[in-house]
Amino acid sequence: MLRKFKISTRFLRAYADLIEFPDGDEIVVQYVGVGNVIELVKSIGIETFLLGLAEYIEDDFRRWNAFEKTPRLASHSKTGVIELMPTSDGEHYGFKYVNGHPKNPNVGLQTVTAFGVLSDVSTGYPCLVSEMTIMTGLRTAATSALAAKYLARPDARSMAIIGLGAQSEFQALAFRALLGIKRLQVFDIDIEAADKFLKNLADMDFDIVVAKTAEEAVAGADIITTVTADKRNATILSDNMVGAGVHINAVGGDCPGKTELQGDILRRADVFVEYPEQTRIEGEIQQMAPDFPVIELWRVIAGEAEGRRLGSQITIFDSVGFATEDFSALRFLRDRIQGTAFYTELDLTTQPEHPRDLYGLFKQPAAAVIAERSVA
Ligand code: NAD
């Protein structure tokens, strides 16, 4: 029979004192499930949540040099990719497990699913485990809108969105929260995706036009978001579709052999990236020479590099999603759940009577184990 156990906080606190952990609370592993995230976001309001999350992401980009960084570890298959995304700021360590399987929706599954962990570096103990499928939608959109805040024309009022899948509503909401964009010109090859998008954002005071083609969607738009999923080098935007002054938020091209923009657009634009070592493998710039010039987004945010210089300039955020953004999301989540009911405690770490007597746990009578880890 499957049983759920919950660690007794009183027992753990007493134990933390005994073995001199810096903070007894660190031993409690908080778990934020899908339902918890949904209710937490609803309680705060999604746009307020996105604004708060964007602030954490911005803060972490500002202290970029504090982070340990590496391109994510990817395991590719014919149908998709499974990736691990680790980073640390010396105080906390975090990682996300995430997949990308574009054909999953054909069998009723999502393209992207994820979970994440945040640990205390001083003890190595995990302190937070969270769902990160919804959090990925939120953090990707918050990062996109944050980049656009620095790179789009200040007078930008409209955005085209090509690809109306799982990420799309989050993108729309983040751009309104951070940039005040209300006019959306949208397109998807699947008409049901457009219907879903309209239904989800009905009564939310957007001005939405569903276009018949991608060309029609981008006509006159100040910002273009591409967020399609297809494991191939697709041409979602061709050079003739992109006019002067546009900011492109290229989100969908995020693994080798998967791009959305025609190379000529990249040559006409200034390209901004998260972590060049990862983006050169996975982003739009995988199409270009290894020394193709790019500007790191963190430098713009930290005031070390220029973002948009001219109204006529084409800027591209070649988004692939970087580990620090998930780390920021986990930090934000952890801070938001304290003192709320939006988490449970997870029976994840062993607490033997003596730290080296792990086997001794088998010698405890079942009643003692159950008393210490009360059945939920
Ligand atoms: P999804 O499968 O839910 O949605 C993709 C949508 O794109 C579908 O509605 C599909 O019909 C549409 N589409 C496919 N080809 C198209 C075309 N040629 N023109 C117009 N529409 C087209 O996927 P999702 O979860 O929304 O993710 C979208 C993409 O974003 C994926 O490639 C994913 O890997 C990527 N992603 C990137 C980041 C990042 O940080 N950069 C984060 C999350 C997801």
Residue 189 in contact with ligand 1 by CB distance below 6 A: yes
pLDDT at 4: 39
pLDDT in tens, the chain (376 residues): 233 334 444 444 444 444 444 444 437 899 999 999 999 999 999 999 999 999 999 999 999 999 999 999 999 999 999 999 999 999 999 999 999 999 999 999 999 999 999 999 999 999 999 999 999 999 999 999 999 999 999 999 999 999 999 999 999 999 999 999 999 999 999 999 999 999 999 999 999 999 999 999 999 999 999 999 987 889 999 999 999 999 999 999 999 999 999 999 999 999 999 999 999 999 999 999 999 999 999 999 999 999 999 999 999 999 999 999 999 999 999 999 999 999 999 999 998 989 999 999 999 887 666 656 554 4
Residues 262 and 364 in one domain: no
In whole angstroms, give the CA distance from residue 20 to residue 257: 50
Domain C-terminal end among 279, 297, 321 = 321
319 C-beta closer than 6 A to ligand 1: yes
Query: DSSP 3-state assignment of 329?
Result: helix
Q: Classify residue 17: in a domain, yes or no.
A: no
- Residues 185 and 255 reside in one and the same domain: yes
Asked if residue 201 and residue 104 are part of one domain, the reply reads: no
Instruction: Extract the tokens encoding 81.
Output: 């990719």
**Co-location of 232 and 289 in the same domain:** yes
317 with 329, same domain: the answer is no
pLDDT at residue 370 in the model: 62
Q: What is d(CA 215, CA 160) in angstroms, rounded to the nearest whole number?
A: 10
Residues 336 and 317 in one domain: no
Beginning with the edge strand found earlier in the chain, give each strand of the sheet holding 207-210 in spatial order. 207-210, 183-187, 158-162, 223-226, 247-250, 315-318, 270-273, 295-296
Is 140 within the bounds of a domain?
A: no
Same domain flag for 101 and 34: yes
Q: Which of 254, 270, 318, 326 is catalytic?
A: 254
Tokens 């770490």 sit at which residue? 349
DSSP characters over 164-183? -STTHHHHHHHHHHHH---E
Structural domain containing residue 196: 152-321
Are 272 and 303 members of one domain?
A: yes
Question: Has residue 196 been placed in a domain?
Answer: yes
Which tokens hold the place of 166? Answer: 């799982």
Look at residue 147 and tell me if it is in a domain: no
Residue 19 belongs to a domain: no
139: in domain: no
Residue of 167, 235, 261, 325 best suited for mutating to test ligand 1, as the one with most atoms within 8 Å of CB: 167
Which numbered atom of ligand 1 lies nearest the CA of 255? 34
SS3 for 180-236 is CCCEEEEECCCHHHHHHHHHHCCCCCCEEEECCCHHHHHCCCCEEEECCCCCCEEEE
Query: The pTM is what?
Result: 0.92
My answer on whether 334 and 193 are in the same domain is no
254 a catalytic residue: yes
Residues 126 and 211 in one domain: no
- The per-residue pLDDT for 246 is 98
CATH code, 110: 3.30.1780.10
pLDDT at residue 373 in the model: 58
The tally of domains found in the chain comes to: 2
Q: Please check whether residue 201 lies inside any domain of the structure.
A: yes
**Residue 345 belongs to some domain of the structure:** yes
